[in-house]
Structure 1
Amino acid sequence: MSFLGLETFETIVTHTPLVSIDLLVRNIDGLVLLGRRINPPAKNYWFVPGGRIYKGETLEGAFSRISTEELGQQLKMSDADYQGLYEHFYEDSVFGKHISTHYIVNAFELTLEEENYLPLVQHQCYQWFSQCELLSETKVHHYSKAYFDSKLIFKDKI
């Protein structure tokens, strides 16, 4: 698989939804891992780790790649619990405010027994939150909150 050129990717973001995986990561104490996003959409918000699925990439392959890129360790999809399919709509994109972004998200929950180095490619930093803390923190994006709040969970779930 190869990366798309920016012009091609901009056309795709403009005209189609992106399919992705979000990783709902807990540690052995039950705290939830969130990263402070560097890029739009959701720039400067705390968000669960995740990433796009590439064309020709299996779901298991994407899970393994995304866990490596986002968490610094290659994990197996079979070690996670599937939480469902969600839709995320953003008014902006990595290309600016003039192009919106639409994601179809496969959410998986997993527990990390040990914390490795967390890559800082898409996030400026990471932090562990209790479920109560993340639901009350204003800089946690509402799509991330929806994964953990039973009152919000079905709003964006397909």
Structure 2
Amino acid sequence: MTDHPIPEESWQEIVRHVPIVSVDLLVRHGGGVVLGKRKNEPGRGGWFTPGGRVRKGETLDAATHRVARQELGVDVTIERRLGAYEHFWEGSEFDDVSTKQYPANGVVVRPREGSFTSDDQHAELRTFGPPFPDLHPYVEAYLRNANLLDEPRD
């Protein structure tokens, strides 16, 4: 597995030309789900599931655990994989790259600890429960497929 950061110029070429395989975590906690308010593009300012790219040589399960530790500061128990989703974003972190594509793998998880620590990608983390506020369609699809849109299930 590659643990080294990708140089910015290489990452820009990847974002420009290649879909980025990722995991998105539907974190069940306190009768709802944990969402992060995004500080970066795409999706800046919106509430979204924690997530991140899958590294070369890394399994989806290993990526799920790594992303949970990095973005939430906790380890998780994987409850269920929701499957693959196609996420097409307008905009990216680069001014001259106008779109970003993620084949995202939705994963329902539960934290093994109760206290979260936000990373530098999120302005804050918050647990939301039904009825949910206005959600990005990608988040709504995860909740619908996990049967969590209408009522809390703990």
Q: So what's the TM-score if we normalise by structure 2?
A: 0.84
| 1:68-90 CA distance string (max 9 Å, x none) | 011212335xx321111101000
- Is 1:80 aligned to residue 75 of structure 2? no
Q: Is the 8 A contact 1:34 1:49 kept in 2?
A: yes
1:86-97 equivalences in 2 (<5 Å): 86-96=85-95
* Higher share of residues assigned strand: 2
Could you tell me which residue of structure 1 aligns to residue 10 of structure 2? 8
Could you tell me which residue of structure 2 aligns to residue 147 of structure 1? 142
Which aligned segments of 4 or more residues in structure 1 are displaced greater than 4 angstroms?
none
- In 1, the alpha carbon distance for the partners of 2:113 and 2:67 equals 18
Q: Is the 8 A contact 2:16 2:97 kept in 1?
A: no
Could you tell me which residue of structure 2 aligns to residue 60 of structure 1? 61
1:1-158 equivalences in 2 (<5 Å): 1-27=3-29, 29-76=30-77, 79-96=78-95, 98-112=97-111, 114-133=113-132, 137-138=133-134, 140-149=135-144
| 1:36-95 CA distance string (max 9 Å, x none) | 00000011000011111111222232122111011212335xx32111110100010111
Structure 2 segments unaligned to the other structure (5+ residues): 146-154
TM-superposed CA distance for 1:149, in Å, is 3.0
- In 2, the alpha carbon distance for the partners of 1:5 and 1:148 equals 35
Aligned length: 143
Amino acid at match of 1:43: R
Could you tell me which residue of structure 2 aligns to residue 155 of structure 1? none
Structure 2 vs 1, CA of residues 43 and 64 (structure 1 numbering), >3 Å: closer, same or farther? same
Q: So what's the TM-score if we normalise by structure 1?
A: 0.82
Could you tell me which residue of structure 1 aligns to residue 149 of structure 2? none
Q: Is the 8 A contact 2:72 2:119 kept in 1?
A: no
Structure 1 segments unaligned to the other structure (5+ residues): 151-158
Superposed CA RMSD:
1.7
